[in-house]
Amino acid sequence: MESVRNGLILGIESSCDETSAAIVRNGREVLANVVASQLVHADYGGVVPELASREHLRAIVPVVREAMHLANVSYEQLDAVAVTEGPGLAGALLVGITFAKAVSLAAERPLIAVNHLEGHIHAVLMEAEASFAAADPLLALVVSGGHTHLYLAHPTDDGTWRYRNVGKTLDDAAGEAYDKVAKLLGLPYPGGPWMDALAAHGDPKAVPFTFAQIKQKASGRTPVKLARELASAQEDMQRFDLSFSGIKTAVRRYVELHEMRPRIAEREAVLRAAGVFTAKPGDAEARNEALRHLDQETLDLIASFQASVTGYLTRTVLAASEHFEARGLVVSGGVAANRELRRALTDAARQRVLPLSFPSIALSTDNAAMIAAAAWPKLLAGQFAEDTLEPVPQLRLG
C-alpha cells in the first residue's frame, strides 16, 4: 500500500461545461468543492465545445486556487492529484488534464486518472452509509446529459471497484431528452431543472406518452459483436437498454398537431427579453417569470413528459435490480437531481426493501469532489496514471 500522509486528494473535473476543483480527505470528507458553471451555452441550447474549452482555460486557475484556499491546504500537503480522463469533450478534458499534470509535476505528487462515470457513482458512495460499499452487487444508474447507463458494481479485494455495463441508452441520454424537449418548448438550457420545476404546475396524466419495448438481448449489436460477447463468458446476457428519442419525437408531434409553435416562439422572445435565459436554473424569480407566460397546455405537456421519463427509468432500474439480485441501488448524474425520479425510485425501493442512495443535489451534477472520491481507492491500491495521460473522449466503463 502506498504510504498516505494526509489523505488529501485534489480533484479536477472539466469534461463538459463545469470547471471544478475539490479537496477531499480520505475519500469522504469534502473540504472544498468549487464548481464554475458555464453560462455561455444557454443562448445556444446546448454545449458548444469550442466555447467550453475556452471557458475552462479561463476558469481553471481561479477555481483550483479557490478550492485550495477554502480547504486551507497547501500543495505540499496533497497526497495526489486526480483528474477526469474521459468520457467528455476532448478540448475540455485537455484543459483539466494539462493543469492536473502541471500540479502533479510541480508538487511532486502522483497523478490519478478517473473515469467520469465512475466519479458519478462515487458521488453517491462517498455520502452513503458504509454498508453500501460492501453491497455486492450494487446496481448503479448514471443518468445525465451525456449518459444513461446501468452498471453492476462489485467491490474487489484491493478496495477498488469492478464494473459491468448492463444497460445503456441506444440514442439520446435522458438529460439530453429533457434539454431537447425544453428547447422545443422555448425554455432555456439546461432544460432539465426548468422542466422539473415547471412540471409541478401541470397534470402528469394529460398526455399519455408510451415507450416502445426494446428488444433487450441483441439490441445495438452486430452479429460479430454478439458472437464475441456470447463466447467471452457464461455471463448473463440480459440487457436493460433504453431509448429516449421516441418521446422527443412524440412531443414534437404533439406541438405540431396542437399548433403550439407560434405561441412558443412568442413566449421564448418574451422570456429572452426578460433575462430568463441568462438566469441560473434554480432562480425563483426567473421561474416565476416563466410561469407567468406559460399556458396550461404546455405545463401539462411538461408534466406528462416528466412522468413518462421518470416512470420508464424507474421500471427499467427495478427490472434490472430484480434480475441481477442487486443488494443496493445508487442513482447519480444530473438527472438524479430530478424530484419526480427521486420520489418514484424511493417509493419503489422502499416497497422492495432495497437500500437506495442518491447524492446530495450539489454532488448530482458534475463536480470534482466525486473525482477525488473515486480516486481514493486507486491511491490506496497504488493505481497511478502515466505522465503521458491524454483525454479519452469515448472512455467506457465496464
For ligand KG4, the binding residue among 248, 354, 366, 372 (CB under 6 A) is: 366
Nearest to 377 by CA among 161, 164, 130: 161
Binding status of residue 204 toward ligand KG4 by CB under 6 A: no
Given ligand KG4, Zn ion, none, residue 163, with its beta carbon under 5 to 8 Å by kind, binds none
328-332/356-357 β-pairing = parallel
Given ligand KG4, Zn ion, none, residue 204, with its beta carbon under 5 to 8 Å by kind, binds none
Diameter of the chain measured on Cα atoms:
66
**368 φ/ψ sector (left φ>0, alpha ψ -120 to 50, else beta):** alpha
Q: How many residues does the chain have?
A: 398
Binding status of residue 335 toward ligand KG4 by CB under 6 A: yes
- Round the CA-based radius of gyration of the chain to a whole number and report it: 21
Residue closer to Zn ion by CB (options 18, 79) is: 18
- Give CA–CA dist 7/28, Å, rounded: 10
Q: Are 372 and 212 in contact (CB under 8 A)?
A: no
Q: Considering the complex, what minimum distance in angstroms separates the CB of residue 310 from ligand KG4?
A: 9
Single-letter amino acid code for the residue at 227: A
Residue closer to Zn ion by CB (options 33, 144) is: 144
Give me 86's grid cell.
474521459
For ligand KG4, the binding residue among 175, 204, 328, 377 (CB under 6 A) is: 175
Q: Are 118 and 165 in contact (CB under 8 A)?
A: no
Residue closer to ligand KG4 by CB (options 73, 117) is: 117
Q: How many residues bind ligand KG4 (CB under 6 A)?
A: 20
Binding status of residue 87 toward ligand KG4 by CB under 6 A: no
Q: Considering the complex, what minimum distance in angstroms separates the CB of residue 177 from ligand KG4?
A: 8
Binding status of residue 146 toward ligand KG4 by CB under 6 A: yes
Given ligand KG4, Zn ion, none, residue 45, with its beta carbon under 5 to 8 Å by kind, binds none
For ligand KG4, the binding residue among 192, 204, 359, 377 (CB under 6 A) is: 192
Which residues sit at the interface with Zn ion, rule CB under 5 A? 144, 366
Give me 230's grid cell.
456470447
- Give CA–CA dist 268/272, Å, rounded: 6
Binding site for ligand KG4 (CB under 6 A): 16, 144-146, 175-176, 178-179, 190-193, 196, 333-335, 337-338, 365-366
